[in-house]
Structure 1
């Protein structure tokens, strides 16, 4: 992370509000993951329905049942400023996703004309499946997160400063104002947890705002190396 490093396997250990509403342990886990995904999509500029943003444990149970199947949690959203820019979120039933589920996902994406997706993994993804995703990266951009990485929204943690991904226009204005080249900016790795949260791509710039005792706030910028 640009400012705070946290192992993803330790994310469950970060303090989080107690989930109530009579959910069983697996449903409570899925509710927390679903809530983080909702926040993530909203932060990326996608149109997230109000009932999804405001979902409670009780409304989650009412909508998906006492023992929700992960496939029933599938989400399709579009960008607020571009309805053609759509993204799927698929929740995997398999503990370790192989090539076959990837094909099922891409077949559906192709049929519906969607090129972006997020896969939420119960545990992990096989090396062969990772290779398959890499090979089809020219046609589809499919990100993947483990459920354990989404139990807590890392951007709401007190040690993580505010991050704002700049638009292309804002990036151009920044470079012009300070007479900088993109390569002169500090860097953020594409596998940085915050960069992954915002789905940052190569060349995108993030504005990082930290509190400052002297100036009130301290602003820095970082450019993504890849993704």
Structure 2
């Protein structure tokens, strides 16, 4: 089976690959505490809403979600079809965020970024005063949900209050906690910021359950 998309033939394997990316993106945001309605990440929904006349339309894959307890915390997810993302695309993203009154975006891209576009993203993410924050994921990073691997333990990001409670409980400073890099795939998946603490729960045949903590740097 094949699907025609933008004057090129897309194999069933490619179509299923994009569905897996779409599904993983929804799962990732749900794990971050965003509200993802049931059924939005199913194959039937994807086929119904992202395909037109047999063509997979990446523009239709775009979606936005909000935090469960903070409806003002919204994020827009985009799936550009461009193999190379340039500065003009980033300008379009900023306009779209402005019009939707959303401050955060995730771009799931198929190819590469130009130097100008990369610098624009770095600039937006470098200061707290920036109007928009943009996360970048290559499509290949999201084909498989890394947290579903049998050897990956459960990771949960602590709230600010939970972090304070942890430090008080063990009478330690945050500099004494083991570290996890902000570029670590799990940190990136969870959208962890520097200074946040991740609780890691491992199952052990000896102790049953082993809990550790790492601070993102």
For normalisation by structure 1, the TM-score amounts to 0.85
- In the aligned structure 2, how far is the partner of 1:75 from the partner of 1:40? 13
SS of the residue 1:29 aligns to: helix
- In the aligned structure 1, how far is the partner of 2:63 from the partner of 2:204? 39
Summarize deviations over 1:110-146 as a string: whole Å, max 9, x none. 1222111100001222222110112222221100101
Q: Offset of 1:162 from its aligned partner?
A: 0.8
Q: Which residue does the alignment assign to 2:46? A: 60
- In the aligned structure 2, how far is the partner of 1:63 from the partner of 1:81? 27
Q: Which residue does the alignment assign to 1:118? A: 106
- Consecutive unaligned residues of structure 1, counting only runs of 5 or more, are 1-22
Q: Which residue does the alignment assign to 1:216? A: 208
- Consecutive unaligned residues of structure 2, counting only runs of 5 or more, are 1-10
- In the aligned structure 1, how far is the partner of 2:30 from the partner of 2:13? 26
SS of the residue 2:73 aligns to: strand
- 2:150 is aligned with 1:154: no
Q: Which moved more, 1:134-143 or 1:72-81?
A: 134-143
Q: Which residue does the alignment assign to 2:8? A: none
Please tell me the root mean square deviation across aligned C-alpha atoms, in Å: 1.3
Q: Offset of 1:222 from its aligned partner?
A: 0.5
SS of the residue 2:82 aligns to: coil
Summarize deviations over 1:74-101 as a string: whole Å, max 9, x none. 1111000100000000101101211111
Q: How does 1:3-22 map to 2 (within 5 A)?
A: none
Alignment check: 8 A CA contact 1:27 1:67 kept: no
For normalisation by structure 2, the TM-score amounts to 0.89
Alignment check: 8 A CA contact 2:197 2:213 kept: yes
SS of the residue 2:105 aligns to: strand
Alignment check: 8 A CA contact 1:32 1:152 kept: yes
Work out which structure has the larger RCO, using CA pairs closer than 8 Å and 6 or more positions apart in sequence: 1
